[in-house]
Amino acid sequence: MRVLGIETSCDETGIAIYDTQRGLLAHQLYSQVKLHADYGGVVPELASRDHVRKTLPLIEQALQEAQLTAQEIDGVAYTAGPGLIGALLVGACIGRSLAFGWGVPAVAVHHMEGHLLAPMLEENPPAFPFVALLVSGGHTQLVQVDGIGQYQLLGESVDDAAGEAFDKTAKLMGLDYPGGPRLARMAESGEPGHYKFPRPMTDRPGLDFSFSGLKTFAANTLAATDGSPQQLANVARAFQDAVVDTLLIKCRRALQQTGLKRLVVAGGVSANQHLREELQRLMQHIGGEVFFPRPEFCTDNGAMIAYAGAQRLAAGESTDIAIKTFPRWPLNQLQPPANPQEG
């Protein structure tokens, strides 16, 4: 089954074609970073308009890359939420309309399910069950995953997500948008231990997160520095270490609580090299395994939507003709496919 995937939940237009027998056939991605950089963050209306301009040309490019015609597509998957309502509507309207015109089924995909399943695109995919750490600009969640659509939320951020805290702290430091990756690069030259930031909510039971206080702590620390490049790097290092340590502590607790030894890490922040190294060290220490998507599939992309949609379409699931999007859509509201397939 060949499935066209469309991702337009925020500021990246992602298109991909996934074949349940042959794997990923095409992957096209357009980032709006330059468009939003002057504003210091995503402007929803501009994002929606840019998706309108880019989605159809990228679909044509993906078909060319896969050496397929539209008549050879067996289904369409599109992100229906969570995300920016206008951006979601662009992908949903195009995806549902193409499926109707081509006479093939369509399925609405949960954006975070796409992230969660992104490591399945790698040569060594994780087996169910596992614990997933979904860590991005909009979400920080720990989820027990027993199968596709079988998700138990273990903990989540009660305020800023980790990626959001990275971006806001970077902005305090005067770094250009998107600030999170820039802060991570700056942290590489910071002195470990020069500043000591708190590890929020690790001194109490539970698996929830809170990162907004770290931003305030960073702001107060920055105000007390001389603003030199080395001092800024030291603050960046301390902030990143605090976030990574907090994520590690919570992941260890989640694995202990569930008795599982497999950890999946996905979402934009999963591309952070320091986080990857520390989680690999943790899993080696406890005799477990950790799985990441390749860096290009950590951020929003069409490949993860095509894969997630293919699993549900192959199981006979489809979405009716009505176009619906869900800016807020709890992951644990999803149901497993009636007839789950492998591939």
Annotated binding site for Fe cation: 111, 115, 300
SS3 per-residue string spanning 173-198: CCCCCCHHHHHHHHHCCCCCCCCCCC
CA angle 142/332/150 to nearest 5° reads 85
How many Å apart are CA 53 and CA 64, to the nearest integer?
Answer: 18
What's the token pair of residue 103? Answer: 């006479």
- Quote the tokens at residue 273: 């090299």
Residue 142: closest CA among 310, 328, 279: 279
Helix (H) or strand (E) holding 243: helix 229-258
Beta bridge partners of 155: 142
CA distances in angstroms from 147 to 128, 144, 173, 191, 283, listed in the order given:
6, 9, 42, 42, 21
* CA dist., res. 181 & res. 304, Å (int): 21
Q: Quick check: 132 and 119 in contact, CB under 8 A? A: no
Known binding residues: 111, 115, 134-138, 167, 180, 272, 300
Q: Name the binding residues for substrate.
A: 134-138, 167, 180, 272
Question: Residue 233 corresponds to which tokens in the numbers above?
Answer: 């790097």
Specify whether the CB–CB gap between 316 and 144 falls below 8 A: no
